[in-house]
Structure 1
Amino acid sequence: MNRILKGMLLLLMMASNISFADDAPSARQQKIDPNSYYGKLKEEFKEIGGAFFIGGANEGEALSGAETGGGMEKFFKSSENVSKETVPVEGMPFSKACRFTVAPKPKVFWNASFQLLNREPVKKGDAVLVVFWAKGRKVPQVVDDGAGATLQAYIQSSIGKFPKGRVNNFYDCKMLSEKWERYCIKTSPVSMDFPAGKLALIGMMGHKEQAVEVGGIAWMVFPEGANIAKMPKKSWNYEGRAADATWRKEAEERIGKIRRGNLTIEVVDDKGQPVADADVQVRMKQHEFRFGVAVSVGAFTGKSKNMSPEDVMKYKEVSTKYYNSIVPDNNLKWVYFENERKDGWKDTKECLKYYHDNGKYVRGHVLVWPTIFRAPESLKEKLKGNKELLDETVKKHVTEEVSEFKQWISDWDVTNETAVNRDFMDTLGPESMLEWYRIAHEADPKTALTFNEPNFGADGMELGSFPESLLNDKCRGWVDYLVKNKAPLDYIGSQCHGGSAGREFGGKTGPEGLWKYFDYLSSYYGKKLQYTELDVGIGDPSDPDQLAYQADFLRDTMIIAFAHPAFDAITQWGFWEGAHYAPAAALWTKDWKARPVADAYIKLVFKDWWTNADLKSGKDGKCSVNAFFGDYEITVNGRTRSVKYSSLEKDKPIRIELKQ
């Protein structure tokens, strides 16, 4: 570097308060008072590397840069649903905070948010860390959701490989305390450059009327080569995780009562007389309870990118071997349905037929995702503002799609994510949803119908986006509205992305709390429950602690559901890293190695909850085994017969006649 160029750079850096160290020409530096809040954070994280603050070089800059509105970065716009004021703070490491007041509750929760954009560029290889403190208090509700104030925060960008998406994994700090608590959000080293203003720290708060205070916001990056192992670690733990946790014994007892029975086999000869001392082998083939998975039609056909013939073969093998229920992840959504109309839905039908013919239960997802943004591109402009056409088009679509696939599909998600998508109901009125369920039932009366939401819980499933003006003691939200108006509804479905063990639903936490809440849901509404899109995402699939957490969390989420009589299905949203919307959540890696979460799932379903037995008939020709309900092959003296052991006929003996 010549002296003239160096002098010019120094002048620029003095003007911007940024300098480069002589011994590290590429290192960004700032003048931070070591006694300030930011200075103390810099000292706290010095083992990671040299922190560079990109959301402001002090508390004041960060707080003043926090905009209020709704949406995300590129789509962020002003909103009357949230206001901001700066308030002093005492007795904390920081001295001031932003108080965000949400009123009234917006139609969708992201329409009351704050965002803080990066003031400085982020370079490829930088690792990002955000530290902030938060607390909150909700306003009394018409129908109380049982939960506290809510804040959901993450880092997002609309450029590069992250269009409309998050750079880091979703970070959810629900049920904010009324006392200050510290939170951290971090990323792995980013894979591209982000110019100033193209990364956003987003905080969504529109779940209810509430006041949320956020202070001590410090947005840092650490340069390539930083010791990211020293980054603050999330506590990969949850309530009730211990192997000797008291709830496990109760779960085992519950499962024994509701998922098993004494399978009695009666062996007789061709004259109906008992056959004693017969060799009887009992081999389970499939559960009655549905352990399902979402499959990619593209992966099934091999048309997805970078799939080998071996991958296609393995994809079919694993999905068929380890799951007894299947749902296409995307191809039955309205957009895909219209796009594939030209070839008569050939690939989708091939996929459905394959799994159906292999004895799998087949689900459909989804008939109505009630927002114009999920409508086919060719129809969006036509449907906007045209109430009559929208009503007619949606009804026609429901009837056509149910009819087209009814020979294979046994359960449809009629609606999806109404907690955050309500365009159609706003235009057509809440009664339009009743019509969709009734029309789906008319198109195929044999098909079960499911109301599918992101999670169980009053703030999502029950209240959701239901019009505040219609909420009262006799109508708690969409599910209540459907039930009270006698819609043909069979299931209340929770997507359950992230699992549920230890989660907060309706103010209930831990397995015992969840069982109580499931008791309430199933008894109040009189409907069965199912998890429809279960997965457990983690930030770093190379971290043993995160892999262990993922395995345990999926296992315990499944145990809690399997131990409740209202559940009869759990569907995972994908299984293979090569065809998964969240690769770190996959059970099998791209090269088909089983992660610990796959081992935990297989052990649970095919060992702990599986029945195989070798028996001999007594003098009365009978023998029995305590068995899980499901499909079996029973072999007597070398002759094999397939039978179903049903929970509905658990006391009925299975009679095997030995013919000469």
Structure 2
Amino acid sequence: QFDQTIDYWGGRPHDDAWRAAAEQRIAELRTAPLTIRVNGALGAPVPGATVRVEQVRHHFRFGTAAPAGRFVGTDADSERFRAEVARLYNTVTFENDLKWHDVNPAEQQRIDAAIDWLDEHEITLRGHVLVWNFEVMPPRVRDLDAEAMRAAVHQRVTDQVGLYRDRLYLWDVVNEAVTNTEIWDRIGWDQFPEVFRLARAAGPNIGLAYNEYNMLNDREGHWRRSLENARRLIDAGAPITTFGEQAHQGVPLVPLPRVLELLDEAAKLGLRIEITEFDLGGVDDEEVHAQYVADFMTACFSHPSVDAFILWGFWEGSHWRAGENAAMFRRDWSKKPAQDAWEDLVLNQWWTRAAGETDGAGEFTQPVFYGRHRVTVEHDGQTVQAIVERTPDSPDWVMVSLP
């Protein structure tokens, strides 16, 4: 329970009535039955075989932002950083490395090596960002006239998407267009949907997102204008697939029923939604911080339009809001309660571990969270293992044959 002597909510009601329905949605949306059929050498069903199912990877994207340099650094902190990323996340966003700037050969080599490390660990990469604002573009571009800047923006989008198109699953094509209007005011708002078309031409199979802030902070003016911008893209026929909601949260806390209402409003666009930059600052009580992180994650994971929950950093030694108690690991790598809460959800409550025996038909059925699972079957001294992907589109059974 929250400490009721401190009003973190700005006087707004914040009961727990939302929770039971959210947990029910999680069971319906994020899990499905998996049947293990065990046969013997001659194809006959094997009753009474021991079956263990253990998840090894989520289908849903749980991720973090990170500097590319941490994936190639040789210092102790970088080594620990990589170990935690490999243990906790299946998706990464480079915090600054893919923003628009002139990349020298050494920096490009570091980025490529970081992506190689992610590939080796089967961690997908989210591209951030193709077009943002004047401050995040090379000085040589900033002072161009409208026609020359338009050409530079086109070249930027085409080159970057083409360069990384087989290495990213999605690009933030445009970031924060509600407040960062300088580029569009100069090159023309008709270019807002056009950059999505250029990105699609360069990357036919990649996800394309419009990313905005203040979407889940309940700041009505901003989120309404963000939805209007997304609708503008859709109405113009832009090939947008995803609406990114940054979710940098603070005090006063937004009640979770309101968070769900805001997600419902965004879902009316008909796009997939990703939580792209979550953090929570300004809550000094670490237990309150942990509880709200867990509740916010639960609300988002329960929503049918949400495909990803990505932090904007997790370690105090590499976090833009370290002074606001937003990181989940302290500088010395000790865990804050929020980190324990994250792990309890992602690696425990929302993680499949099950065991049982096959029935008379040689089958064992178990609800599992969508993702990759290691299935181990034992019978009469024989052991067989199989790796099974259970997704919304996969078969709901797998055959395991004993020798």
Out of 252, 259, 266, which is 2:37 matched to?
266
Alpha-carbon offset, residue 502 of structure 1 = 5.3
Residues 579-590 of structure 1 correspond to what in structure 2 (within 5 A)?
579-583=318-322, 584-590=325-331
| Higher alpha-carbon deviation: 390-399 or 426-435 | 426-435
1:406-462 CA-to-partner distances (Å, cap 9, x unmatched) read 221111111111111011111122210111111111111111011100032652244
Q: Which one of 535, 552, 566 corresponds to residue 279 of structure 2?
A: 535
Query: Cα gap change, 1:500/1:352 in structure 2, threshold over 3 Å: closer, same or farther?
Result: farther
The alpha carbon displacement at 1:254 in A equals 1.0
Q: Which one-letter code corresponds to 1:333 in the other structure?
A: K
Q: Which residue does 2:125 correspond to in 1?
A: 362
- Alignment partners' CA distance in 2, 1:500 and 1:655: 51
Per-residue Cα deviation, 1:357-383 (whole angstroms, up to 9, x for no partner): 2111210100000x22221123323x2
- How far did 1:652 drift? 2.1
Contact 2:372 2:390 in 1 (8 A): yes
| Cα distance change, pair 262–241 in 1 and its aligned pair in 2 (3 A) | farther
SS at match of 2:280: coil
Distance change (3 Å), C-alpha of 1:265 and 1:455: farther
Q: C-alpha displacement at 1:262, in angstroms? A: 1.6
Alignment-derived partner of residue 644 in structure 1: 389
Residue 327 (str. 1) matches residue 116 (str. 2): no
Distance 1:498 1:282 in 2: 37
The answer to which structure, 1 or 2, has the higher relative contact order (CA under 8 A, 6+ apart) is: 2
Query: Alpha-carbon deviations, 1:216-274, whole Å to 9, x = none?
Result: xxxxxxxxxxxxxxxxx9623576766xx221111111111111112211112344321
Equivalent residue number for residue 236 of structure 2:
485
Within-5 A mapping of 1:205-284: 235-237=7-9, 245-284=16-55
Paired residue type of 1:592: W
Match of 1:309 in 2: 75
1:299 is displaced (CA, Å) by 2.7
Superposition RMSD in Å: 2.1
1:463 aligned partner, one-letter code: R
Q: Deviations over 1:53-112 (max 9, x none)?
A: xxxxxxxxxxxxxxxxxxxxxxxxxxxxxxxxxxxxxxxxxxxxxxxxxxxxxxxxxxxx
Distance of aligned partners of 1:353 and 1:500 in 2 relative to their CA distance in 1, 3 Å threshold:
farther
Find runs of 4+ consecutive structure 1 residues off by over 4 angstroms.
237-242, 499-502
- Would you say the 8 A contact 1:576–1:589 is kept in 2? yes
Distance 2:344 2:27 in 1: 17
Would you say the 8 A contact 1:499–1:557 is kept in 2? no
CA distance in 2, matches of 1:375, 1:399: 16
Does 2:369 correspond to 1:628? yes
Residue 350 (structure 1) aligned with residue 113 (structure 2): yes
Structure 2 CA distance for aligned equivalents of residues 425 and 251 of structure 1: 39
User: What is the aligned counterpart of 2:262 among 513, 517, 533?
Assistant: 517
Unaligned runs of 5+ in 1: 1-232, 303-307, 465-475, 504-509, 541-545
CA contact (8 A) 2:92 2:123 kept: yes
Distance in 1 (CA, whole Å) between partners of 2:141 and 2:270 is 37
Match status 1:463 vs 2:208: no
Q: Does 1:445 align with 2:204?
A: yes
Deviation at 1:501, TM superposition (A): 9.9
**Mapped partners of 2:53, 2:278: distance in 1:** 31
Supply the distance in 2 between the matched residues of 1:441 and 1:501 (Cα, whole angstroms).
39
Identity of matched residues, %: 29
**SS of corresponding position for 2:151:** helix
* Structure 2 equivalent of residue 373 of structure 1: 135
Normalising by structure 2, we get a TM-score of 0.91
Partners in 1 of 2:100 and 2:70 — Cα distance?
A: 20
Structure 1 counterpart of 2:59, from 288, 296, 302:
288
- How far apart are the structure 2 equivalents of 1:554 and 1:639? 40
Tell me whether 1:550 sits opposite 2:301 in the alignment. Answer: no
Q: Give the counterpart letter for 2:301 in structure 1.
A: F
Q: Find the counterpart in structure 1 of residue 359 from structure 2.
A: 618
Larger Rg: 1
The CA distance in 2 between the partners of 1:567 and 1:424, in whole Å, is: 29
- TM-score, normalization by structure 1: 0.57
C-alpha contact 1:552 1:600 (8 A) present in aligned 2: yes
- For the residue of structure 2 that corresponds to 1:345, the secondary structure is helix
Kept in 2: contact 1:268–1:657 (CA 8 A): yes
* Aligned length, in residue pairs: 389
Partner of 1:410: 169
> 2:248 corresponds to which residue?
497
Following superposition, the deviation at residue 342 of structure 1 comes to 3.1
8 Å contact kept, 1:353–1:408: no
Amino acid at match of 1:375: M
Deviations 1:598-648 (A, max 9, x none): 011111111111110112111111111121111111111222111111122
2:251–2:283: 8 Å Cα contact kept in structure 1? no
Structure 1 residue 537 displacement after superposition: 1.2
Alpha-carbon distance, 1:493 to partner: 0.8
Change (3 A) 1:320 1:572: same
Residues 1:399 and 1:344: Cα distance change in structure 2 (over 3 Å): farther
Contact 2:9/2:252 (8 A) holds in 1: no
Q: Within 2, Cα distance between the matches of 1:442 and 1:319? A: 32
| Shift in CA distance, 514/358, structure 1 to aligned 2, threshold 3 Å | same
State whether residues 535 and 572 of structure 1, in contact with CA within 8 Å, keep that contact through their aligned partners in structure 2. Answer: yes
Instruction: Answer whether contact 2:207 2:242 (CA < 8 A) is retained.
Output: yes
Equivalent residue of 1:535, what SS? strand
Residue number among 560, 574, 583 corresponding to 2:299 in the alignment: 560
